[in-house]
């Protein structure tokens, strides 16, 4: 999660509000560090949905 690139579109939160939340400052926060397989799939969808490319998955 790059705070410098995030502009708070909220598309990641729309994909999964259990994984992401847009703060009062307009920047997204990642809520979990460890993901289940199902959560990993949602995270991948959120990465693909982010128009500012502020998200990435690390193995």
Residue 5: what pLDDT? 94
pLDDT of residue 58: 87
Q: pLDDT averaged over consecutive 10-residue blocks of the chain (59 residues)?
A: 91 96 92 94 96 92
What pLDDT sits at residue 59? 78
Work out the end-to-end distance of the chain between its first and last CA atoms, rounded to an integer number of angstroms: 14
Which domains, ranges and CATH numbers included, belong to the chain? Answer: 1-59 (3.30.70.20)
Compute the distance between CA of residue 22 and CA of residue 33 in angstroms, rounded to an integer.
16
């Amino acid at each position: 999660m790059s705070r410098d690139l995030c502009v708070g579109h909220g598309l990641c939160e729309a994909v999964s509000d259990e994984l992401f939340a847009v703060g009062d400052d307009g920047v997204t926060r990642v809520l979990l560090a460890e993901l289940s397989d199902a959560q990993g799939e949602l995270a991948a969808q959120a990465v693909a949905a982010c128009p500012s490319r502020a998200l990435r998955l690390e193995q």
